[in-house]
């Protein structure tokens, strides 16, 4: 026997019934995006490595440690499986001059790849939903993308402020961050003997990321560090105030977290994260912010932008934890075919029912014809369908089918196949109720 091949560690199959939850989540996202006027964009899974090095920053964890990069054997190009979605969307907008006629509201759903140690909810191939708004500079758009995430939580059955909490911060503008960076480096250098290896490595390359350390021994140093908020100018503070005022007006609760920095170098001004206490130490469910310099940084004409991304695996775990994840949908009806019933007639009838919107599942025949009625009814019950459609030779000869309720009692009825339009929609409505 040949050796059985298995999926790569951290890259998982999504099988029924779990796949139904993914479809439900994707459908919920698409309905939300339509309400807010966002359009779908689909970019390649493989991009030039330089896109992420230039866009995310050479000293970010993603670029340094986590990217799946390789050399194209045909032409020697350095390529990378995309580790996140924003850089690819910006590259596509630049390449196709998509901002020529004005700003764009876009969203994407798809797989991303990072080479990290797999753990529950964090995998090497994972899936993201992202929203990107390009070409609009105002704080009203920052507020809109945050409010849209709050609406998504409500659509999914999560309680804002309990199941998920919003944290908000401002990273200001480059000159403000530079002044803060210099003060931060001086502070950290004064405690160099207490820094861990990761902090020492980042001290002069990316000191802001040290503030996001999870090392408990370094928390006193981080808490005493200069705060970026103290370096923000009037315009940056006004932008943050306007975002906060919009959230207050709509009634979305939030907490100001001055240590929130995010993991990519391209952010400025507003940054935010939605966090939860229900998934252990890895509490971030969704994060994003403004990235006004990225479009120019990746070769386009200067234009502002803001967006967010969420990991679908972690969100589904959270939905299961709070009991908001749906069960797999059941068919409206299950077709039981008795011995002697002409299968061609059955199939014709089922196609008519499906054309009328009924979700009906056929019990497959064995090699020697239909299996026993008892076996078929057992499968019908296990399918979750509310009705069994019994196709017997006598019923079909009379142009009829027996409709048998499986869940809530009720009367068994004989329905004429020629009157299908009158009763088929009732099966679908009853099953959906």
* Domain-terminating residue out of 274, 296, 321: 321
| Same-domain status, 356 and 304 | no
**Percentages of the chain per state (helix, strand, coil), in multiples of 5:** 40, 20, 35
| Same-domain status, 299 and 342 | no
What does the chain come to in residues?
433
Give the residue from 410, 358, 416 showing the smallest Cα distance to 385. 358
CB neighbour class for 157 (10 Å; exposed up to 12, middle 13-18, buried from 19): middle
The SS3 assignment for 232 reads: coil
| Same-domain status, 251 and 290 | yes
Q: What is the reported pLDDT for 263?
A: 64
| Same-domain status, 385 and 312 | no
- Over residues 346-357, the mean pLDDT reads 95
Strands of 65-154 (E only): list them: 68-71, 78-81, 104-113, 125-134
Distance separating alpha carbons of residues 319 and 97, to the nearest angstrom: 39
Give the residue from 240, 75, 227 showing the smallest Cα distance to 142. 240
What are the phi and psi torsion angles at 380 (to 5°)? -60, -45
- The residue with greater pLDDT, 55 or 339, is 339
* Sign (positive or negative) of CA dihedral 37, 41, 104, 291: positive
Domain span at 343: 333-432
Q: Round the average pLDDT of the chain to a whole number and report it.
A: 91
**Residue 388: pLDDT band by 50, 70, 90 thresholds?**
very high
Q: How many separate domains does the chain show?
A: 2
Residue 341 lies in a domain: yes
Residue 430 has pLDDT above 80, yes or no: no
CATH number for the domain spanning 113: value is 3.30.930.10
Residue 20 has pLDDT above 80, yes or no: yes
Q: What is the reported pLDDT for 60?
A: 73
* Domain-terminating residue out of 291, 321, 351: 321
* Highest mean pLDDT of the ranges 152-156, 174-178, 365-369: 152-156
- Over residues 318-329, the mean pLDDT reads 91
| Same-domain status, 54 and 76 | yes
pLDDT in tens, 285-301: 999 999 999 999 999 99
| Same-domain status, 307 and 342 | no
307 HSE (CA, 13 A, CB side): 30
CATH number for the domain spanning 413: value is 3.40.50.800
**Cβ(125)–Cβ(218) under 8 Å?**
no
Q: What is the reported pLDDT for 120?
A: 80
| Same-domain status, 142 and 88 | yes
pTM of the prediction?
0.88
**Residue 283: pLDDT band by 50, 70, 90 thresholds?**
confident
* Percent of the chain residues topping a pLDDT of 90: 73
Worst-scoring range by mean pLDDT, 27-41, 55-69, 134-148, 329-343? 55-69
Residue 223 lies in a domain: no
**Residue 323: pLDDT band by 50, 70, 90 thresholds?**
very high
Residue 346 lies in a domain: yes
**Cβ(363)–Cβ(413) under 8 Å?**
no
| Same-domain status, 138 and 283 | yes
- Over residues 199-212, the mean pLDDT reads 83
pLDDT in tens, 97-156: 999 989 999 999 999 999 988 888 789 999 999 999 999 999 999 999 999 999 999 999
- Over residues 373-384, the mean pLDDT reads 93
* Domain-terminating residue out of 298, 321, 344: 321
| Same-domain status, 239 and 350 | no
- Over residues 174-201, the mean pLDDT reads 89
Worst-scoring range by mean pLDDT, 213-227, 236-250, 297-311? 213-227
Residue 201 lies in a domain: no
Q: What is the reported pLDDT for 198?
A: 86
- The residue with greater pLDDT, 107 or 433, is 107
| Same-domain status, 42 and 97 | yes
Residue 196 lies in a domain: no
| Same-domain status, 134 and 265 | yes
Residue 282 has pLDDT above 70, yes or no: no
Residue 205 lies in a domain: no
| Same-domain status, 124 and 257 | yes
Residue 64 lies in a domain: yes
Distance separating alpha carbons of residues 149 and 377, to the nearest angstrom: 44
Distance separating alpha carbons of residues 197 and 199, to the nearest angstrom: 5
**Cβ(332)–Cβ(428) under 8 Å?**
yes
What are the phi and psi torsion angles at 394 (to 5°)? -70, -45
pLDDT in tens, 255-281: 999 888 776 668 899 999 999 999 876
For 41-58, the DSSP string reads: ----SEEEHHHHHHHH-T
Residue 203 lies in a domain: no
The verdict on whether omega for the bond into residue 17 sits within 30 degrees of 0, i.e. cis, is yes
Residue 59 has pLDDT above 70, yes or no: no
């Amino acid at each position: 026997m040949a050796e059985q091949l298995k999926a790569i560690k951290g890259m998982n199959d999504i099988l029924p019934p779990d796949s139904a939850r993914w479809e439900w989540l994707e459908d919920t996202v698409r309905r939300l995006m339509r309400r807010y006027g966002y359009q779908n964009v689909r970019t390649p899974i493989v991009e030039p490595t330089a896109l992420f090095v230039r866009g995310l920053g050479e000293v970010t964890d993603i670029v340094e440690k986590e990217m799946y990069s390789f050399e194209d054997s045909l032409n020697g190009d350095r390529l990378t499986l995309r580790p996140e979605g924003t850089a690819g969307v910006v590259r596509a907008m630049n390449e196709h001059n998509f901002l020529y006629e004005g700003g764009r509201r876009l969203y994407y759903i798809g797989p991303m790849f990072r080479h990290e140690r797999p753990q529950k909810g964090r995998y090497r191939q994972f899936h993201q939903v992202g929203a990107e708004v390009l070409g609009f500079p105002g704080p009203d758009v920052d507020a809109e993308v945050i409010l849209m995430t709050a609406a998504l939580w409500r659509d999914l059955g999560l309680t804002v402020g309990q199941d998920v909490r919003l944290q908000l911060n401002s990273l200001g503008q480059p000159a403000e961050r530079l002044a803060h960076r210099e003060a931060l480096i001086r502070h950290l250098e004064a405690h160099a003997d207490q820094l861990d290896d990761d902090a020492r490595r980042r001290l002069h390359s990316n000191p802001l990321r040290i503030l996001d350390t999870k090392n408990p021994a370094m928390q006193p140093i981080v808490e005493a560090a200069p705060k970026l908020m103290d370096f923000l100018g009037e315009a940056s503070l006004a932008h943050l105030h306007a975002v906060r005022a919009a959230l207050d007006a709509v009634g979305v609760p939030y907490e100001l977290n001055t240590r929130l920095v995010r993991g990519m170098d391209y952010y400025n001004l507003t940054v935010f994260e939605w966090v939860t206490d229900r998934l252990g130490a890895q509490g971030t469910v969704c994060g994003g912010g403004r990235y006004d310099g990225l479009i120019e940084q990746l070769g386009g004409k200067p234009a502002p932008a803001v967006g967010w991304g969420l990991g679908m695996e972690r969100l589904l775990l959270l939905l299961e934890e709070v009991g908001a994840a749906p069960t797999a949908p059941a068919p409206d009806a299950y077709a039981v075919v008795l011995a002697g019933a002409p299968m061609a007639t059955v199939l014709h009838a089922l196609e008519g029912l499906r054309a009328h919107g009924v979700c009906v599942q056929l019990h497959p025949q064995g090699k020697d014809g239909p299996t026993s009625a008892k076996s078929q009814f057992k499968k019908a019950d296990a399918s979750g369908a509310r009705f069994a459609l019994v196709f017997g030779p006598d019923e079909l000869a009379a142009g009829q089918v027996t409709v048998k309720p499986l869940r809530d009692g009720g009367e068994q009825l004989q329905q004429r196949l020629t009157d299908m339009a009158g009763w088929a929609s009732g099966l679908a409505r009853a099953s959906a109720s």
